[in-house]
C-alpha cells in the first residue's frame, strides 16, 4: 500500500462543504478526527467518475474509525462504540499537523 | 335475476407513476439496445443473475468459515477472491468481511444510499434502504438492534460500518454455542440474512 497514511495514524477529515459533486465523504464526519483502521489501496476518485471523468488520479482509500462520542456529542449509548467509514485520501489530513 | 347484481366499479390497479429515474432508466436502456451495446436477452439474463444471488450464498460461506480455519483466514484477507470460488463476482466493488467476537458486534449500513453486497446476498431488504434505518443505525445502533430483538451486553462494543465507497460488507457472526457436532451444511441453516447485516445473531439450534 503506497498511501500517505498507515494503520493507526490519527487523521482529520477535511471540513469542506462543496455544494456539488459525487462526494462519498459523509457530511456528519467532516472536520472530525479518527484513526486509520485499514488501508485499502488505490481506487478511482468518485468525484471524477460521477461526472463522466476517468477517476484519475486514483486515491488511496482508508477505513477510518471514529468514536461515536466524537461523531455525535450527545451520543446516548455506550461510549466505547465506534463507526468505521471509508474515506479517500484527498479528504484526509494528519491530525498532528505533521 | 341476471340484472339484479351490483354493477360495482372495479378497484383500479395500484399502478405507481414512474419516477423520473425510472423514465431515464428506460430511455437509456432502449438507446443501448438500439445501438446494439447489449441485447434484450443479455439484459434479461443479467436481471435473472441478480435474482440468483441470495442470502443462502452468504450462509454457505459463513458456515464454511466456522468449520475451516484456513478458509476463514483467506476470507478475511481477500473476501472478493474467495467468493469467486463460489461463482460470485463482486464486479467493481470488494467484499470486506468483519468478524463478530465476544467483545465486538458489527452492524452494516449505508447512510449515503443503500450499498449492499448484492452479488453475494441478492437485493437488500426494504428496511435497509429506508431513511429510518440509514439515519438511526449510526445514531443509536443499540436502540435499532433492540427493535430487531437483538440485545447486546454492555461490555460488547458496537462497531457500525458505514458503507460509503468501494467496499461491500458482510458480518461473520459468532458460531452459536451447542453447534460443536454440526456439519457446515447443517450450520448454514442457522445463518440468516440479518445475521450477515448484523441486525441479528444466529441462535443455537432448537432442542429436541
The secondary structure of chain B as a DSSP string is -TT-S--PPPPPP--PPPPHHHHHHHHHHHHHHHTTSS-HHHHHHHHHHHHH--HHHHHHHHHHHHH-HHHHHHHHH-HHHHHHTTT---TTSEEEEEE--SSEEEEEE-SSS----HHHH-SPPHHHHSHHHHHHHHHSHHHHHHHTT----TTSEEEEEE--SSEEEEEEPPPPTT-TT--HHHHHTT--HHHHHTSS-PPPPPP-
Query: Residue A1 pLDDT more than 50?
Result: no
DSSP state, A8? Answer: T
Cell of residue B60, nine digits: 454457505
Judge whether A45 and A58 are in contact, CB under 8 Å: yes
pLDDT over 80 (residue B32)? yes
Interface test with B, best of A80, A87, A89, A90 (most B CBs within 10 A): A80
Q: What is the pLDDT of residues B102-118, one digit of tens each?
A: 999 999 999 998 899 99
Which is nearest to B98 in space by CA: B18, B206, B6, B195? B195
- Catalytic, B195? Answer no
> Is the confidence at residue B68, as pLDDT, over 80?
yes
**A78-91 residue pLDDT tens:** 999 999 999 999 99
Q: What is the mean pLDDT of residues A11-37?
A: 95
Q: Is B140 on the interface with A (CB under 8 A)?
A: yes
Phi, psi of A13 (to 5 degrees): -80, 135
More confident residue, B40 or B205: B40
How much is the pTM? Answer: 0.89
Task: Tell me the mean pLDDT in the region B72-83.
Answer: 97
pLDDT of A46 higher than 80: yes
State the average pLDDT over residues B184-192. Answer: 96
**pLDDT in the model for residue B208:** 41
Residue B208 C-alpha, separation from nearest chain A C-alpha, in angstroms? 38
What proportion of chain A, given as a percentage, has pLDDT over 90? 87
Average pLDDT, chain B: 92
pLDDT (0 to 100) of residue B207: 52
In chain B, pLDDT over 70 holds for what percent of residues?
93
Does pLDDT of B13 surpass 80? no
- How would you class B26 by CB atoms within 10 Å of its CB: exposed for 0-12, middle for 13-18, buried for 19 or more? exposed
pLDDT in tens, B42-66: 999 988 888 888 999 999 999 999 9
Please say if the pLDDT value at position A98 is more than 60. Answer: no
Q: Which of A77, A80, A88 sits opposite B141 (nearest CB)?
A: A77
Q: Tell me how far the alpha carbon of residue B73 is from its chain's centroid.
A: 22
Q: pLDDT tens-digit profile of B115-171?
A: 999 999 999 999 999 999 999 999 999 999 999 999 998 889 999 999 999 999 999
Per-residue pLDDT at A76 exceeds 60: yes
Domains of chain A, CATH where assigned: 10-94 (2.30.30.50)
Q: Can you tell me which residue has the cell 488511496?
A: A60
How much is the pLDDT for B2?
56
pLDDT band at B202 (very low <50, low <70, confident <90, very high): very high
B207 or A74, greater pLDDT: A74
The C-alpha cell that represents A71 in the structure block: 461523531
User: Would residue B113 show up in a list of annotated catalytic residues for this protein?
Assistant: yes
The DSSP output letter for A80 is: T
Using a CB–CB cut-off of 8 Å, the residues of A that contact B are 24-26, 28, 40, 43, 46, 61, 63, 65, 68, 71-72, 76-78, 80-88
In angstroms, the CA B96 to CA B171 distance is 9
Tell whether omega for the bond before A57 is within 30 degrees of 0, i.e. cis.
Answer: yes
Chain B: closest CA distance from residue A83 (Å)? 5
What is the arithmetic mean of pLDDT over B177-201?
95
Q: Place B39 in a pLDDT band, splitting at 50, 70 and 90.
A: very high
Of chain B, the percentage scoring pLDDT greater than 90 comes to: 79
pLDDT-based confidence at residue A47 (cuts at 50, 70, 90): very high
Grid cell digits, residue B14? 395500484
Q: What does the pLDDT read at residue B15?
A: 65
Q: How far apart are CA B124 and CA B54, in angstroms?
A: 10
Residues of chain A with Cβ-Cβ distance to B161 below 8 Å are: 83-85
CB contact under 8 A, A26 and B142: no
Amino acid at each position: 500500500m503506497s498511501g500517505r497514511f498507515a494503520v493507526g495514524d490519527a487523521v482529520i477529515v477535511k471540513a469542506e462543504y462543496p455544494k456539488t459533486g459525487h462526494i462519498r465523504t459523509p457530511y456528519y464526519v467532516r472536520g472530525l478526527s479518527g484513526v486509520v483502521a485499514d488501508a485499502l489501496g488505490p481506487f478511482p476518485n468518485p468525484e471524477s467518475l460521477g461526472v463522466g471523468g476517468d477517476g484519475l488520479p486514483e486515491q488511496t482509500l482508508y477505513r477510518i474509525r471514529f468514536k461515536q462520542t466524537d461523531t455525535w456529542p450527545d451520543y446516548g449509548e455506550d461510549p466505547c462504540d465506534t463507526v468505521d467509514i471509508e474515506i479517500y485520501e484527498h479528504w484526509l489530513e494528519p491530525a498532528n499537523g505533521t | 335475476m341476471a340484472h339484479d347484481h351490483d354493477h360495482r366499479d372495479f378497484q383500479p390497479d395500484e399502478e405507481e407513476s414512474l419516477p423520473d429515474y425510472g423514465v431515464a432508466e428506460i430511455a437509456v436502456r432502449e438507446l443501448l439496445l438500439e445501438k446494439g451495446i447489449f441485447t434484450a436477452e443479455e439484459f434479461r439474463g443479467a436481471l435473472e443473475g441478480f435474482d440468483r444471488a441470495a442470502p443462502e450464498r452468504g450462509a454457505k460461506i459463513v458456515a464454511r468459515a466456522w468449520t475451516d480455519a484456513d478458509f476463514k483466514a483467506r476470507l478475511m484477507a481477500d473476501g472478493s477472491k474467495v467468493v469467486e470460488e463460489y461463482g460470485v463476482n463482486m464486479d467493481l466493488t470488494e467484499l470486506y468481511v468483519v468478524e463478530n467476537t465476544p467483545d465486538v458486534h458489527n452492524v452494516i449500513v449505508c447512510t449515503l444510499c443503500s450499498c449492499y453486497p448484492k452479488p453475494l446476498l441478492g437485493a437488500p431488504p426494504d428496511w435497509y434502504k429506508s431513511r429510518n434505518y440509514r439515519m438511526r443505525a449510526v445514531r443509536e445502533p443499540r436502540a435499532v438492534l433492540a427493535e430487531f430483538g437483538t440485545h447486546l451486553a454492555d461490555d460488547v462494543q458496537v462497531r457500525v460500518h458505514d458503507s460509503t465507497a468501494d467496499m461491500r460488507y458482510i458480518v461473520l457472526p459468532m458460531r452459536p454455542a451447542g453447534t460443536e457436532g454440526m456439519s457446515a451444511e447443517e450450520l448454514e441453516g442457522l445463518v440468516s440474512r440479518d445475521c450477515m447485516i448484523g441486525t441479528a445473531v444466529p441462535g443455537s439450534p432448537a432442542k429436541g
